[in-house]
Chain A
Amino acid sequence: MEDFRVCPATGLKVHKPAELLIKINAVTAIVFILIGGLMALLLALTKIPAIHLLPSDLFYRFLTLHGIAMLVAWIIFFEAAILYFTSAVLLNCRLAAVKVAWLAYGLMLGGALMAAVEILIGNADCMFTSYPPLQAHHLYYLGVILFAVGAILVCCVFFGTLAVAKHEKTYEGSLPLVTFGAAAAAIIAIVTLAHGAIIFVPTWLWALGVIQHIDAPAYRLIFWGFGHSSQQINVCAMVAVWYLIAAVTVGAKPVNQRVCRTAFVLYILFIDIASEHHILVDPGFSAAHKAWNTGYFMHLAVLASMIHALAVPSAIEIALRKKGHTQGYFEWLKKAPWGNPSFSAMVWSIAGFGFLGGITGVTFGTEQINIIAHNTWRITGHFHSTVVAGTTMSFMGLTYIVLPLIFRKEVAFPKLAKFQPHVFGVGIWTMAIFMMFSGSFGMPRRHWDITFSDAAFSIPFDQTAMMALHIFGVGAIIAVIGGGMFVLVSVATLLIGKDIK
């Protein structure tokens, strides 16, 4: 049993090899958010018209890297850590196939670095979507494929661990809700990655010259089958993290587990299929097909989010009322542990995902409204609300729990940590709202020069929209500062944080 230690805080048995894997995946994730954040700063400084920092080729190159480093590497490395945590640690169990987990890590790291290097040396100026016929160097696609194979292996190790736990009876009864949510995320991940393989392998062969032609509309369809569903992994993981943080910080207990679990099942069943809102204004599909896909399927998944949107806050309210904060409607809210960065990050995440990201997503996913939103900065504002104000914030909150629990270090600079979620939250909300605002004037996304100085026609953009770009810039800089505070606190904790005995 020397492979285990007993956690003094929770009494859980912690498998040391699992712990090491959680650490390495989380640290790698944080390195990538640092890289992505650096790119974000340069991009934002270029988008502010008065500064317009980067030349155009570097803007597009760094935009591609920002997408890969953030959306792919930061998020998925962190999710790997979450999967190991919710299986091995929460179930009191050893991690199945530790060697496979290391292989997965190696593939993911190698793949991510390969893609990043190809981007940086100018071999893949194609954005993370790499729509053919735009072609990158074949090593870029290979990097993405290796990363995806690694991620599939992570899911396999996760399910293997669930099987081991069941077999060795390390827990009683059903899986904890958080693990159940993580399992939903892993199922969606496997489906998604299969889509990814279907489209990235031929594209890679095409870049190698083995295949002559990739059908552009088919690529867009399958890519978004992969690309959008992969966002649902993030939604699912984020919601599981909400339940986790609520349980750890205030001892929240979901009112009815049947309801919460059914909501996760709704995600698995429907969210995966509803991916065509990316191609609502593409040729190739009938209106009936689009309405069915983005209406029926997407909205049943929305129902799931609405259920969690009640279940998580109500569990928190009940827990806080039990602690004696019972006066009036809102005493519990006032007395909530706002100074705890995990808790405040979770609240920012719930509000950001729900109000900013969710509502705009459902709106823009309507076929007719999509006409005025597609590929404008509205979309960029929307997904910075979901994947940054939502998912990224919840992962930041979880980090403040994992640092003492798994790394066994006291969080360094606690004052800074206390303000970090608020700084990041204010920045991201400002940035996302003003992205959407300028997008409503038709401001295009992925665009280096909104003044069109080298174009055939210099299009006179509305002054209000130009003004909004400056406010966006202020928000972006605040967000970068908040992100920097997160990296600083995490790294300082690792390097100089006091050990917890």
Chain B
Amino acid sequence: MAITSPERLWWKQPVCGQEKLWISIALVWCIFITAIMPYWHFFGKQNPSQEYYRVSPVKYGAIVDKFTAKHKVGEEAGIPVVDPPPGDIFIAGSQFVWHPILKLKSGRTYRLHLSSTDMVHGFSVYPMNMNFMAVPDMDYVLTIQPDKAGEFFIICNEFCGGGHHTMTGKIIVS
């Protein structure tokens, strides 16, 4: 029994055929699911980005402010709206807003820089349901190509303080 010491020489007992079969199937399955990640990485169309840089929250805030001032075309719900050309674009999570609101063009490629000026925030795009982390001290670069026009919302899905549930943002694709 499992609660008493095993019989002598338990380690010499041969593994029976059924057990061998099951373990083999399980092993093959595990190898298969392990192989999927690299496979997907090379042949799939959507992978988490591996591009990131160290940046202090203060510096990132300044970069975003400069970017916002340069491309600002309006304001919505008190949040600046920017209409930048394809290339490097920036978004920051700050307690409790995602700023600026980005106007993008479908079919063009952007390098979206994502970081935080204070706490750790969760960057969740609704309704597509894509999720990345905005971590202070790190500039996370996501290369994106919007393929559908419309309004996309950003939800913060990492607890970042008392107003966490009010933290939203927007991306407009035309």
The residues of A with any CB-CB pair to B shorter than 8 Å are: 56-57, 60, 90, 125-127, 131, 133-134, 171-178, 215-217, 220, 243-244, 246-248, 251-260, 279-287, 290-291, 294-296, 299-300, 302-303, 306-307, 310-311, 314-315, 362, 366-368, 370-376, 440-442, 444-449, 452, 454-457, 459, 462
State whether B168 touches A133 (Cβ < 8 A): no
State whether A175 touches B5 (Cβ < 8 A): yes
State whether A368 touches B37 (Cβ < 8 A): yes
At the interface, yes or no: B87 with Cβ under 8 Å from chain A? no
State whether B46 touches A455 (Cβ < 8 A): no
Which one, B10, B29, B124, B159, contacts A376 given CB within 8 A? B124
Can you add 6 more A-B contacts, CB < 8 Å, to A178-B3, A260-B2, A295-B37?
Answer: A256-B19, A295-B33, A306-B30, A307-B23, A371-B46, A452-B168
12 A–B contacts from the bound complex (CB under 8 Å)? A131-B158, A216-B120, A247-B1, A255-B16, A287-B50, A290-B37, A310-B23, A368-B40, A372-B129, A446-B157, A456-B79, A456-B97
- B36-48: CB near A (< 8 Å → 1, else 0) gives 1110110010111
**Which of B6, B38, B122 is most buried by chain A, counting CB atoms within 10 A of its CB?**
B6
Interface size on B, residues (CB 8 A): 77
The residues of B with any CB-CB pair to A shorter than 8 Å are: 1-8, 10-11, 13, 15-16, 18-19, 22-23, 26-27, 29-31, 33-38, 40-41, 44, 46-50, 52, 77-79, 97, 118-120, 122, 124-133, 135-140, 153, 155-162, 164-170
State whether A456 touches B168 (Cβ < 8 A): yes
Cα–Cα distance between A454 and B13 once the two chains are bound (Å): 66
Contacts across chains A and B counted by CB atoms under 8 Å: 250
**Which of B18, B30, B37 is most buried by chain A, counting CB atoms within 10 A of its CB?**
B37
State whether B124 touches A455 (Cβ < 8 A): no
State whether B131 touches A371 (Cβ < 8 A): yes
Q: Report the nearest B residue to A371, measured CB to CB.
A: B130
State whether B165 touches A299 (Cβ < 8 A): no
Q: Report the nearest B residue to A447, measured CB to CB.
A: B165
A-B complex: 5 closest residue pairs judged by Cβ atoms: A444-B157, A283-B52, A442-B129, A283-B140, A306-B26
Contact (A375, B15) CB under 8 Å given A259-B23, A457-B168: no
Residues of B near A280 (CB, < 8 A) are 48
State whether B38 touches A291 (Cβ < 8 A): yes
Closest Cβ of chain A to B8, distance in Å, is: 6
Closest Cβ of chain A to B165, distance in Å, is: 4
Residues of B near A248 (CB, < 8 A) are 3
**Which of A133, A286, A449 is most buried by chain B, counting CB atoms within 10 A of its CB?**
A133
Closest Cβ of chain B to A308, distance in Å, is: 11
**Which of B7, B159, B160 is most buried by chain A, counting CB atoms within 10 A of its CB?**
B159
Q: Report the nearest B residue to A448, measured CB to CB.
A: B165
State whether B157 touches A283 (Cβ < 8 A): no
Contact (A459, B165) CB under 8 Å given A283-B135, A286-B50, A367-B41: no
Residues of A near B156 (CB, < 8 A) are 444
Cα–Cα distance between A178 and B125 once the two chains are bound (Å): 46
State whether A283 touches B2 (Cβ < 8 A): no
Cα–Cα distance between A330 and B12 once the two chains are bound (Å): 31
Contact (A283, B139) CB under 8 Å given A253-B2, A258-B10, A295-B34: yes
Which one, A60, A311, A459, contacts B126 given CB within 8 A? A459
Contact (A257, B13) CB under 8 Å given A125-B162, A284-B52, A366-B36: yes
Cα–Cα distance between A166 and B145 once the two chains are bound (Å): 65
State whether B5 touches A368 (Cβ < 8 A): no
Closest Cβ of chain B to A387, distance in Å, is: 19
Closest Cβ of chain B to A157, distance in Å, is: 20
Which one, A177, A300, A370, A462, contacts B6 given CB within 8 A? A177
Residues of A near B49 (CB, < 8 A) are 283
State whether B126 touches A370 (Cβ < 8 A): no
Contact (A457, B170) CB under 8 Å given A287-B41, A368-B48, A375-B122: yes
Cα–Cα distance between A174 and B13 once the two chains are bound (Å): 14
State whether B37 touches A366 (Cβ < 8 A): yes
Closest Cβ of chain A to B116, distance in Å, is: 8
Q: Report the nearest B residue to A64, measured CB to CB.
A: B159
State whether B30 touches A372 (Cβ < 8 A): no
Residues of A near B164 (CB, < 8 A) are 60, 446-448
